[in-house]
Amino acid sequence: MYDKLVQIALLFDFYGQLLTEKQIEIVDMYYNNDLSLGEISEQKGISRQGVYDTLRRAEKTLYQYEEKLGLVDRFLKQKEDMHKTIEMLDELINKEEFKRDHTDTKLADIKKYIESII
């Protein structure tokens, strides 16, 4: 799929609110604010090991949600399909027979709409 940072970011976007408040804070501090385990442990007043354990439990939970629900995979597949649709529309827009009857403008409008979705 993607590297771990991107994976966790996507999973957190989709399922983050299903984590505990403590897990949300620690995942956010670690991945979004780029703080080290030591920096987080100082700010939260817990051990570095406690931060590490919380982070790993949260990651495991996010992966489990994706395994069961598949929302991220579905989202990525839809995005890929939209990009393919845009490529096909580009091919049609450039065909001469569509330019003669102004179908190319309608296709261009459809393309803009799809681009606004993604």
| pLDDT, tens only, 54-95 | 999 999 999 999 999 999 999 999 999 999 998 888 888 877
**pTM for this structure?**
0.76
Amino acid at 54: T
pLDDT of residue 90: 85
Report whether 29 contacts 40 (CB < 8 A).
yes
Percentage with pLDDT > 70 across the chain: 98
For the domain spanning 4-69, the CATH number is: 1.10.10.10
Helix (H, G, I), strand (E, B) or coil at 100: helix
Start-to-end Cα distance in the chain: 19
Task: Tell me the pLDDT tens digit for each residue of 11-58.
Answer: 999 999 999 999 999 999 999 999 999 999 999 999 999 999 999 999
4, 14, 28, 31 from 10: Cα distances, Å = 10, 6, 12, 11
Max Cα distance, the chain (Å): 71
